Amino acid sequence: MRHIAKALTLTAALCAMGCGSDDNNFSYGPFPNPTTTPINPPTAVADSFTTLGNSVLTGSVTANDTLNGATVTAFQNPSNSGGSVAITAGGQLTYTPPLNSANVNDTFTYTLTNSAGSSTATVTVQIGARGFFVKNDVTTTGTGTQSNPFKTLAEAVTAAGVNPAEIVVFQGDGTSTGLNTAVALATSQVLRAFDGNAPTLTGPVTMANNTTLSGVKINGSGNVQATGSPRNFTVQNCTISNTTSDGLAFTNVVGNVSLRNNALTNNGGRGLAVRNNAGLSNFTIANQTVNNSTTDGVLVNITNTANVTWSETNTTINRAGNGVAFAGNSWSVNTTQTSAFNATLTGCLSDSPSLFGLLVDSFNSSNVTLVFDQGIVRNGQFQGFLLEALDSSTFKARISNTQTNQNGAGFGFEADNGDFALMCLRLVNVTSDVYRLGNNNPSAPYNIENFAGFAAENTGSITQLGTINSVPIGSCGIP
């Protein structure tokens, strides 16, 4: 009886725990293993940067790495050449080259680490020319580095000497204080604004072989000049104003000259003046404005054996003596001169010149080839275009897709030849109110391609003097 009671008690206890209910059935294995994603170690990849000597380089060393959640946990400082290195955990680099280093490579390493491992890569920095920095609103002058700049431009010019270098000028306080010094660039030197913010200089700045002037304002008596056969230089993104002479003044320059995005305003002579008597030069001019020069907007004077190729696009010239004046008057010095001028102007505007819009004279035995396309020459006091071939010169011109008009005493378009010169024209889609085409010597050839077609399609008044020959299209050999 006692054993039966114990059995009943145990049975009751088990039933109280869920006896007879399927909800309390238990299952024992096998159980699935949980899914886990393996962590791979990072892969650091070598980097290469370029920088200016004495500057501060910033960038990312991890942009080309495979991180897998890794961060930068170590880096070499100083670099192998003694430069200053700082890298954040996220890979942002700040590097300062050794003081006054130039034209060398420097290296350092950094390490990425995650829970699966580490990877190390090497960074190479190519240090270019030495830089000398100027900021006229610092309290005291420094060593000329980006982080400790000179206070005056003169200090940077002296430090650069005749060595290839970049003189980099901060905008500073926006005045010319400390920046009012003449600068004669040496071969392969650069003078530029820091970070595109133009400082104000007084000039003059003298260009030399393989030099660049970029992003500065020159406001004062000094200008930008080059003389003595300098070659291959660039002036770009500059504002040159209120000079006492030509804004850009170049004499006997050779090689390649690039003038881009410059504004020439209120200068005491021409906006741009080029005077060459020898050598071969190629000018490339783009997006330039010339306003209110005392005389010509642009003067190109080519004599002796000089050979100039001129490519100009999107120049705007307002109220500037001769709007765009290409004057070969010095070619009359003697008849042995065989200079050549080959010019293409595209998309240029001459607005309200006080004399001529476009004046081109050829003398002696010179050769001129002129292409003027997609331009506007308007509101001048005299001729919009005045093209003159004299002596025994050769003058070929194609004027196309262009508007010109008569405003004062003169013709919208005039082209004359005299003596024994050759004039050959191609006029295509030219709009002018009045034309004058004059052959002043019956023995001198004056040819116009498809003259009859031009006369028929044009609504302007045409005055013809002397014999004008209509020749087939292409006869002039104008590109």
Q: How far apart are CA 74 and CA 378, in angstroms?
A: 68
Angle at 140 between CA 184 and CA 185, to 5 degrees: 10
Measured CA distances, 164 to 150, 187, 436 (Å): 18, 7, 54
The whole-number pLDDT of residue 464 equals 92
Phi and psi torsions of 10, nearest 5°? -65, -40
Query: Which band of pLDDT confidence, cut at 50, 70 and 90, is reported for residue 295?
Result: confident
The whole-number pLDDT of residue 12 equals 41
Given a cut of 80, whether residue 6 has pLDDT beyond it is: no
Q: Are 366 and 331 contacting, i.e. CB atoms less than 8 angstroms apart?
A: yes
pLDDT per residue as tens digits for the range 148-184:
999 999 999 999 999 999 999 999 999 999 999 999 9
Given a cut of 90, whether residue 322 has pLDDT beyond it is: no
Joined together, the tokens standing for residue 98 give 């050794």
pLDDT per residue as tens digits for the range 420-450:
999 999 999 998 988 999 998 888 899 999 9
pLDDT (mean) for 409-421: 87
Handedness of CA 265, 267, 270, 274 (dihedral sign): negative
pLDDT (mean) for 53-67: 98
Query: Which band of pLDDT confidence, cut at 50, 70 and 90, is reported for residue 58?
Result: very high
Contacts of 394 (CB under 8 A, 6+ apart): 362, 366, 367, 368, 421, 422
**Which domains, from first to last, does the chain contain?**
47-127 (2.60.40.10), 176-471 (no CATH)
Given a cut of 50, whether residue 69 has pLDDT beyond it is: yes
Given a cut of 60, whether residue 1 has pLDDT beyond it is: no
3-state secondary structure 85-97: EEECCCCEEEEEC
3-state secondary structure the chain: CHHHHHHHHHHHHHHHCCCCCHHHCCCCCCCCCCCCCCCCCCECCCEEEEEEECCCEEEECCCCCECCCCEEEEECCCCCCCCEEEECCCCEEEEECCCCCCCEEEEEEEEEEECCEEEEEEEEEEEEEEEEEECCCCCCCCCCCCCCCECCHHHHHHHHCCCCEEEEECCCCCCCCCCCCCEECCCCCEEEECCCCCCEECCCEECCCCCEEECCEEECCCCEEECCCCEEEEEECCEEECCCCCCEEEECCEEEEEEECCEEECCCCCCEEEEECCCEEEEEEECCEEECCCCCCEEEEECCCCEEEEEEECCEEECCCCCEEECCHHHHCCCCCCCEEEEEEECCEEECCCCCCEEEEECCCCEEEEEEECCEEEEECCCCEEEEECCCCEEEEEEEEEEEEECCCCCCEEEEECCCCEEEEEEEEEECCEEEEEECCCCCCEEEECHHHHHHHCCCEEEEECCCEEECCCCCCCC
Residue, of 151 and 358, whose pLDDT is higher: 151
Query: Which band of pLDDT confidence, cut at 50, 70 and 90, is reported for residue 237?
Result: very high
pLDDT (mean) for 307-331: 68
The whole-number pLDDT of residue 374 equals 96
pLDDT (mean) for 444-467: 89
Q: How far apart are CA 179 and CA 256, in angstroms?
A: 29
Given a cut of 60, whether residue 303 has pLDDT beyond it is: yes
pLDDT (mean) for 275-280: 89
Given a cut of 80, whether residue 311 has pLDDT beyond it is: yes
pLDDT per residue as tens digits for the range 107-150:
999 999 999 999 999 999 999 999 999 999 999 999 999 999 99
Q: How far apart are CA 307 and CA 302, in angstroms?
A: 8
Query: Which band of pLDDT confidence, cut at 50, 70 and 90, is reported for residue 2?
Result: very low
Contacts of 34 (CB under 8 A, 6+ apart): none
Q: First and final CA of the chain: distance in angstroms?
A: 130
Q: Are 224 and 251 contacting, i.e. CB atoms less than 8 angstroms apart?
A: no
Given a cut of 80, whether residue 240 has pLDDT beyond it is: yes
Given a cut of 50, whether residue 16 has pLDDT beyond it is: no
pLDDT (mean) for 193-197: 96
Query: Which band of pLDDT confidence, cut at 50, 70 and 90, is reported for residue 29?
Result: low
Phi and psi torsions of 301, nearest 5°? -120, 110
The whole-number pLDDT of residue 28 equals 52
The whole-number pLDDT of residue 362 equals 92
The whole-number pLDDT of residue 96 equals 98
Contacts of 305 (CB under 8 A, 6+ apart): 277, 278, 279, 337, 338, 339
| pLDDT averaged over every residue in the chain | 88
Q: How many alpha carbons lie under 13 Å from residue 132 in its C-beta half-sphere? A: 22
Handedness of CA 362, 324, 321, 411 (dihedral sign): positive
Q: What is this structure's pTM?
A: 0.87
Residue, of 428 and 26, whose pLDDT is higher: 428
pLDDT per residue as tens digits for the range 216-235:
999 989 999 999 889 999 99
Q: How far apart are CA 354 and CA 368, in angstroms?
A: 25
Measured CA distances, 420 to 31, 271, 347, 446, 447 (Å): 109, 34, 33, 10, 13
